[in-house]
Structure 1
Amino acid sequence: MIFSHPEPPSRKLRILPVFMPFAGCKSRCVYCSQTVQTGTAESQLKNIYIFLQQALEDAEDNAGYEVAFYGGTFTAIPFEWQKRFVALASEFALSGKVIGVRCSTRPDAVNSEQLRELKELGLKTVELGVQSYNNKVLSISKRDYTQESIVSACNAVRKNSLELGIQLLPGLPGMDKKIFLDDVKKTCALSPAVVRLYPCLVFKNTILASWYTRGEFAPWELNDTVEALGSGLLMLWQDGIRVIRIGVAQEDGLTDSLVAGPFHPAIGNMVRSEALRCFLVEKMETLSRPFSRLLLPRRYQGELWGYKGAYKKFWGERGLSPSTVVSWNLPIFQMD
């Protein structure tokens, strides 16, 4: 049996991140780990604009950056500022310094008419912080929108021929594995170009931290998280959707403010290994006789055996061992 890895072809991006802490945010979600602000002061937006302008002027020609506005609700800041930021980034397209502009925002802060104008100025991708489609989960987490708002926002992004990104937050209060996998199915139905998976963590000075302290919230265990995300990742891959992030980035100070939750510096590798395990088990079940050998593309050697060899026993019980798994340079798998 010959087959390929289910992950869609990746597209390497060179991102120039522009962080806009709480820009446009009108409320505080239960997991938010910083002090809430109502919108963003004019002076702060000016400072961010100056930072971006300087960064682009200093960049090399043909750097090929995608300028990405993160950390707030981009489409909820004053529209004139939205246009100024996108237009500024697009000014550097002729020199090759910028090849696209992306932003992150909330589903209930999407305006189709404004998206059309932003696209004409150079906006390419809109990532929506969906988190979940389950209305009960959204309500508990104080997201203040519904599944209907999410679908409407996704349709508005695609209607304006913009690339759609969706961010999911498995492990939110009130969520179990079944709800998360249902969220993945709903995501597949909306056909985004990219997805990010951020397991819910508990940080200091959050509503979630107070619930955790009082015993009113229990984050998912790491093993349960890896299992759930592995299944979800495989579903997304098999639907042709690229997953461009698994887990939060390990920024300075992150572990100091972390109270609880399924954080691990190698969680991306662990989830990919689980997805590969599920995928290979599916292939094995199609065989009508015991298999004797697996020809494995070299790049997946580590993922097969799992983080620190976590799956060696599992595969050994199914006849796979270092002597029956052969690494090769071809990009396809072969199972005998």
Structure 2
Amino acid sequence: MKKHIVIPIFVPHKGCPFDCIFCNQKIISGQIHESSEEEIRSTIESHLETSGDAYVEIGFYGGSFTGISLSEQEWYLKIGYSYIKDGKVKQIRLSTRPDYINPTILDLLERYGVKTIELGVQSLDYDVLKCTNRGHGIEEVLNAAMMIKDRGFSLGIQTMIGLPGDTRAKAVATAKKVVELSPNIVRIYPTLVIKNTFLQKLYYDGRYQPLTIEEAVDISAELLDIYEKHRINVIRIGLQPTDNISESGEIVAGPFHPAFRQLVESRLALTRMRQYIIDYGLDKLSDIVIECNPKLVSNIIGQKRMNIHTLKNEFNFKNIRIMEKLNVEKFLIMAT
């Protein structure tokens, strides 16, 4: 399988007039000034130098791309499209708000080689959207998703957990509603308290309590399970660590972990193994063998062998042996 590369171009936050309480795109994206065409081309070409025969996309991130003027959108798109015409890049992707999608905008995006549109949905619960000052409702999300799919674009949905007003039940309900939208890709982000946001003020005032790592991992694992069962590709879980996004950077509070996705995948593996043991009556055994695909070994074992320790404690197993098997898709558990 070919390597897949997305070259990120960060567009200043001016495309979004709203101030969602959790948002500080300058910190999240690390982008403060508006890049010149020369700087954008330099970024693209430096990535292309090491891309080899990879499938390469250009991604416009960092704000609400379709919220900037049509002329500015076209300025960025023309730069990206020139690399598509030269055969160096396959397509363009971008992220935006649901209320900044309409037929005119989609015409423009289609003309310049955009194939994937990711919507920052965050939640499909009315109260959560209101509490976070999103500036749009659920109907805008449904309409935007339908327009994007009807026009043949790939649809991405970005959601957050642990926002003000959110609960585990609301997060699960949102995931189930997202499934109904039939997205091609999904991202799950636990809410972090970032410096210079209104959420920081709420946190310092004692009016907001972020999720713990344990809570965020457990909820994210349940959401990942929902999406995987519907064959929806979850391309990211948790913010990518950067100089700014780190425990010593601009994060005030919240469930940040540099390997957050691995924690979530390990938790889901534990949940599935636990259920497998119960369903197949293996809980009375003293020794078991877990056969698994080599790619899943670290998730099966868990960080610091936590999954193995948990299964031993819960079911009183004396020995658990791990065997790597290429012909096993995920895992099988049996007696020794």
Residues 322 and 62 of structure 1: is their aligned pair in 2 closer, same or farther, counting only changes over 3 Å? same
Tell me, yes or no, if structure 1 residue 54 matches structure 2 residue 42: yes
User: Which letter maps to 1:303?
Assistant: N
Q: Distance in 2 between matches of 1:115 and 1:52?
A: 23
Q: Identity of counterpart residues, as a percentage?
A: 30
- Cα RMSD after superposing both structures: 2.5
The correspondence for 2:273, drawn from 263, 277, 280, is 280
Note the residue ranges of structure 1 that are not aligned, 5 or more in a row: 1-9
Partner of 2:173: 182
User: Which letter maps to 2:326?
Assistant: N
Cα drift, residue 325 of structure 1: 2.8
Partner of 2:5: 14
Q: Greater relative contact order (Cα 8 A, min sep 6): structure 1 or 2? A: 1
Paired residue secondary structure (1:127): strand
Cα drift, residue 168 of structure 1: 0.6
Alignment of 1:95-110 (within 5 A): 95-110=86-101
Residues 306 and 321 of structure 1: is their aligned pair in 2 closer, same or farther, counting only changes over 3 Å? farther
Paired residue secondary structure (1:250): coil
Q: Could you tell me whether the CA contact under 8 Å between 1:23 and 1:74 is conserved in 2?
A: no
Note the residue ranges of structure 2 that are not aligned, 5 or more in a row: none
Tell me, yes or no, if structure 1 residue 146 matches structure 2 residue 137: yes
Paired residue secondary structure (2:14): coil
The size of the alignment, in residue pairs, is 321
Paired residue secondary structure (2:83): coil
Cα drift, residue 259 of structure 1: 1.1
Paired residue secondary structure (2:84): coil
Cα drift, residue 35 of structure 1: 7.0
Partner of 2:332: 334
Cα drift, residue 318 of structure 1: 3.1
User: Which letter maps to 2:270?
Assistant: R
Q: Distance in 1 between matches of 2:318 and 2:293?
A: 15
Alignment of 1:53-132 (within 5 A): 53-57=41-45, 59-60=48-49, 64-132=55-123
User: Which letter maps to 1:326?
Assistant: M
Cα drift, residue 13 of structure 1: 2.3
Q: Could you tell me whether the CA contact under 8 Å between 2:269 and 2:299 is conserved in 1?
A: yes
Cα drift, residue 321 of structure 1: 6.7
Q: Distance in 2 between matches of 1:94 and 1:320?
A: 60
Paired residue secondary structure (2:243): coil
Partner of 1:5: none
Tell me, yes or no, if structure 1 residue 168 matches structure 2 residue 159: yes
Q: Could you tell me whether the CA contact under 8 Å between 1:64 and 1:96 is conserved in 2?
A: no
User: Which letter maps to 2:266?
Assistant: S
Q: Distance in 1 between matches of 2:153 and 2:318?
A: 46
Cα drift, residue 57 of structure 1: 4.8
Residue deviations 1:29-79, cap 9 Å, x none? 10113579xxxx9x93xx343322333455348564210000011011111
The correspondence for 1:225, drawn from 205, 213, 216, is 216
Residues 12 and 108 of structure 1: is their aligned pair in 2 closer, same or farther, counting only changes over 3 Å? farther
Q: Distance in 1 between matches of 2:39 and 2:98?
A: 27
Moved more, 241-250 or 277-286: 277-286
Cα drift, residue 21 of structure 1: 2.6
Residues 35 and 305 of structure 1: is their aligned pair in 2 closer, same or farther, counting only changes over 3 Å? closer
The correspondence for 2:294, drawn from 286, 295, 298, is 298
Q: Distance in 1 between matches of 2:2 and 2:122?
A: 24
Cα drift, residue 298 of structure 1: 1.8
Alignment of 1:243-262 (within 5 A): 243-254=234-245, 255=247, 256-262=249-255
Paired residue secondary structure (1:23): helix
Tell me, yes or no, if structure 1 residue 265 matches structure 2 residue 263: no
Residues 266 and 322 of structure 1: is their aligned pair in 2 closer, same or farther, counting only changes over 3 Å? farther
Cα drift, residue 130 of structure 1: 0.3
Q: Distance in 1 between matches of 2:253 and 2:225?
A: 26
Paired residue secondary structure (2:265): helix
